[in-house]
Amino acid sequence: MEELDELFAELRPVLARHGPSLVVSRDEPGDLQVETTHSGPSGTRMWFGAVQTRKRYVSVHVMPVLSHPELLAGISDALRERMQGRGCFNFTKQSATPELLGELTELVDLGLERYRADGLA
């Protein structure tokens, strides 16, 4: 479990650094959730992403890739291998290389830029 706590601490800044411009809806050990400042069709704030500790890995959810799948066009095969579903990336301590974390950070940044351009964040 300590290994996953360390991994969560490594991955948390990928989203947390955008907290001032977004809304941090949950920030607990093993669970960071970030929403946009704008409401979606249901009238609630749109979920931007999350970093969550699971049993054997830490998941990073990046919601902009669901509405803007073209954001995934330039990702590496190594990052694509971490994808589970359409907007979730799962990491173990061994798979969370500095290169992949840098690429994931860039993807989150591009997603936020796209949301802002569309008036969603």
Cβ atoms of 4 and 58 closer than 8 Å: yes
Q: Kindly report, residue by residue over 72-89, the tens digit of the pLDDT.
A: 998 999 999 999 999 999
pLDDT at 41: 80
pLDDT at 105: 97
| Cα–Cα distance measured from residue 117 to residue 121, given in angstroms and rounded to the nearest whole number | 8
Locate the domains of the chain by residue range.
2-113
Residue 121: pLDDT band (50, 70, 90) is: confident
| Cα–Cα distance measured from residue 106 to residue 83, given in angstroms and rounded to the nearest whole number | 16
CATH, domain 2-113, list 1.10.155, 3.30.750, 3.40.50, 3.90.1150: 3.90.1150
Q: Please, what is the angle between helix 2-16 and helix 98-117, to 10°? A: 30
